[in-house]
A = this chain, B = another copy of it.
Amino acid sequence: MSTAAAAVYPRVSYEARRPRFTNAVATQLLDLIIAKQSNLCVSADLTKAADVLQLADQVGPYICMLKTHADIIEDFDAKFVEALQKLAEKHRFMIFEDRKFADIGNTVQHQYAHGVHKIADWSHIVNAHTLPGEGIISGLKAVGLPKQRALLLLAQMSSAGTLFTEAYTQQTVVLADKHPDFVIGFIAQRALPSPAGNDYLVLTPGVGLDDKGDGLGQQYRTPHDVLVKDGCDVIIVGRGIYKPGRDPVAEAKRYQKAGWDAYLASLAAAAGRK
């Protein structure tokens, strides 16, 4: 599968792909990736605002994106949001709230715009499952597009025994093709073809250099696996960076280099095939 995907989708540079996107978040993200030579997204799965902010400040220089779970932060408030936004400006990274919306259009509109978290007000990027049908995209888009936000669709997951099928993944791409102004990519394990010829960014979770799993179904692959073999664009690393005993700065630098080296290797491989 990976070889076939690589043959069909030889790596194209981030620079060359930039003009293919109409959504401003996508072009800003590609600019950041290029400028910082980082395709690393750090996942801040921490439950205290101060810990998230400390991590963001530590790894900020080495990442293109910080992935948050606002709903696990016990002392989430407007001050936290403001501080996070300042760090995003200081270090130049995008904020991706990993909300995994999974409800009908009317409900996700409220969940995105309202509540304690008011996600649409601060998160450049959110994601959603397509299981509920196209209404989930329409609902989020009505809220997010006027605020110049962007959406990722979950096309695959990295956990064990998922119920994703090839047909589901393909249907997800077809739904994305109906909204390329708002959907900028996928959470997936490999590059995904667009029947409509759109370009999408593929962000890949479950990336780790040292661990194989977490005992609750999570499974890890290396940056080389996902970037060179499977044509993904951004690696998402969580516990590999900050779990107890690890130095977040050293690990962020290590993953940034591993991700960028893998990107350069995939470019070289694509050039070699020409």
Contact = CB atoms under 8 A, between A and B. Distances in A.
B129 A131 contact: yes
Most buried by B among A72, A105, A114, A138: A72
Majority DSSP secondary structure for residues of A touching B: loop
Interface residues of A, number: 52
Contact of A116 (B71, B98, B132, B164): B71
Contacts of A138: 216-217
A4 interface: no
A69 B107 contact: yes
A216 to B, nearest CB: 3
Contact of A139 (B105, B132, B134, B216): B216
A47 interface: yes
A115 interface: yes
A135 to B, nearest CB: 3
Interface of A: 45, 47, 69-74, 76, 98, 100, 102-107, 109-111, 114-117, 129-136, 138-139, 154, 157-165, 167-168, 171-172, 214, 216-218
Given A104-B217, A106-B216, A134-B161, 19 more contacts: A45-B107, A45-B110, A69-B110, A71-B71, A71-B115, A71-B117, A72-B111, A100-B102, A100-B103, A102-B102, A129-B129, A131-B154, A131-B163, A132-B159, A133-B160, A133-B163, A134-B160, A135-B160, A136-B217
